[in-house]
Amino acid sequence: MKIARIEAIPFSIPYRKPLRFASGEVHTAEHVLVRVHTDDGLTGTAEAPARPFTYGETQESIVAAIDRLFTPQLTGLSPLEREAAHERLDRTVGNPAAKAAVDMALWDIVGQAAGMPVSGLLGGYGDRMRVSHMVGFAPADRMVAEAERIRDTYGITTFKVKVGRQPYTEDVEACRALREALGPGIELYIDGNRGWTASEAARALGEMADLGLTFAEELCPADDVLGRRWLVSRSPVPFIADESATRPAEVTRELLGGSATAISVKTARTGFTASQRVLHQCEGLGVEVVMGNQIDGQIGSLCSVAFGAAHRSTARRAGELSNFLDMSDDLLTEPLAIEDGALRIREDAGLGVEIDPEKLARYRQDG
Ligand code: MUC
Ligand code: MG
């Protein structure tokens, strides 16, 4: 079985409600559907979300990287030769979402060929993850109303609150309002997307000391090297590296440099192969991990839950799996459903991704 061709199809689906955070905002899911076809008729599927504010990739650059660089390099390899595939992909620097989608599509093919679910091949720990919902910027009362709606509708009891606004007191107020409205049984953690300085973050953490936060993520830029170390050494809770730790070498640098004490694992940027490396690094070093969300659609969320449910250390916490709820539509024939606060993996061979051709025709951008 050989890789015969790879399709990179840009598609755009509007959000019902935009997500706003310190490094940007998303109004439309501008993603790329990646389909790896083999010479014996199997097709592996994944999606790459363009996140210029995090990785510099755009929908156009993802399509170009796959069409011009990766397809010629991978054609003719077996989907089992993933190590060789990565050696070739790594000849190009950057482009994490494009590479991750190709990697996950290859795993989808391997699962289909073996007649087994990818989640089982990765580790098979469980069949679901509890879900953590991301609450974006809005006035405090609207953030509270959203969290209550999500709790009441889906049974979700873990929330990641976007912070990093100026002045930081607006975020402190929002977090306090969330804690007061939701009560002590709800888990809250915060993500600053580099929006504060180290001193602002330290003051904000001090003012939120009584709110029982579990984690703090990327409150200030990792590029402010000494300020960030200073902040992390004083943080009362584990400090998650997300966009500063996008590959195994960066994970090592951030953790050993004292710039982080926990890691966000995102299949949208490290696929399954490198996500496992990151996870094993974290397990070996003894730091906690969170399954993060790259504002994924349903295909991406299915990939995240396949990975997160497969491993003990990711499955023990709620994973960020609910951003797709804000999209006005998606491409799967059978939509994902969050029930009792959890998202289940699909038990089909491979990833269980089936694309609705009419929806793809409606949302694709390549004519
Ligand atoms: C997150 O965890 O930061 C926002 C920007 C991005 O790259 O991912 C999202 C969520
Ligand atoms: Mg983050």
Taking the C-alpha atoms of residue 135 and residue 145, their distance in angstroms, rounded to an integer, is 10
Q: 87-105, pLDDT tens digit by residue?
A: 999 999 999 999 999 999 9
For ligand 1, atom 4: residue with the closest CA: 294
Mean pLDDT confidence for 48-74: 98
CA of 320, closest atom in ligand 1? 2
Q: Which residues are catalytic?
A: 162, 191, 217, 242, 266, 294
CA of 278 to the centre of ligand 1 (A): 18
Question: Which pLDDT does position 177 carry in this prediction?
Answer: 98
Of the residues 51, 158, 220, 264, which should be mutated to test ligand 1's pocket, given the most ligand atoms within 8 Å of the CB?
Answer: 51
Q: Could you identify the residue written with the tokens 């979300």?
A: 49
Of the residues 193, 239, 326, which should be mutated to test ligand 1's pocket, given the most ligand atoms within 8 Å of the CB?
Answer: 193
Q: What is the CA radius of gyration of the chain?
A: 20
Tokens at 207, concatenated: 């003012």
Taking the C-alpha atoms of residue 83 and residue 351, their distance in angstroms, rounded to an integer, is 20
Phi-psi region of 183 (alpha: psi -120 to 50; beta: other; left: phi over 0): left
Tokens at 95, concatenated: 């482009």
For ligand 1, atom 7: residue with the closest CA: 54
End-to-end CA distance of the chain: 31
Q: Which fold has domain 120-344?
A: TIM Barrel (3.20.20)
Burial class of residue 87, CB neighbours in 10 A (0-12, 13-18, 19+): exposed
**367 pLDDT more than 90:** no
DSSP 246: -
Helix (H) or strand (E) holding 232: helix 225-234
**C-alpha count within 13 angstroms, C-beta hemisphere, residue 122:** 36
**Phi–psi pair at 101, nearest 5 degrees:** -65, -40
Q: 272-330, pLDDT tens digit by residue?
A: 999 999 999 999 999 999 999 999 999 999 999 999 999 999 999 999 999 999 999 99
Mean pLDDT confidence for 183-187: 98
Question: Which pLDDT does position 218 carry in this prediction?
Answer: 98
For ligand 1, atom 8: residue with the closest CA: 294
Q: Taking all residues of the chain, what is their mean pLDDT, rounded to a whole number?
A: 98
Query: Could you tell me the maximum CA-CA distance found in the chain, to the nearest angstrom?
Result: 60
CA of 241 to the centre of ligand 2 (A): 8
CA of 28 to the centre of ligand 1 (A): 15
**146 pLDDT more than 80:** yes
CA of 147 to the centre of ligand 2 (A): 18
Taking the C-alpha atoms of residue 129 and residue 291, their distance in angstroms, rounded to an integer, is 10
Question: Which pLDDT does position 74 carry in this prediction?
Answer: 98
Give the pocket of ligand 1 (CB within 6 Å): 21, 23, 51, 54, 191, 193, 242-243, 292-295
Right CATH for 3-115 from 3.40.50.2000, 3.40.980.20, 3.30.390.10, 3.40.50.150: 3.30.390.10
Which ligand has the minimum distance to the alpha carbon of residue 53? 1
Sketch the domain layout of the chain as residue ranges.
3-115, 120-344
Mean pLDDT confidence for 13-21: 97
Of the residues 20, 26, 54, 58, which should be mutated to test ligand 1's pocket, given the most ligand atoms within 8 Å of the CB?
Answer: 54
Mean pLDDT confidence for 120-147: 98
What is the β-pairing status of strands 342-344 and 3-21?
unpaired
Percent of the chain with pLDDT over 70: 100
Closest of 122, 155, 101, 144 to residue 318, by C-alpha: 155
What are the E-state strand segments in 222-332? 239-241, 262-265, 288-291, 319-320
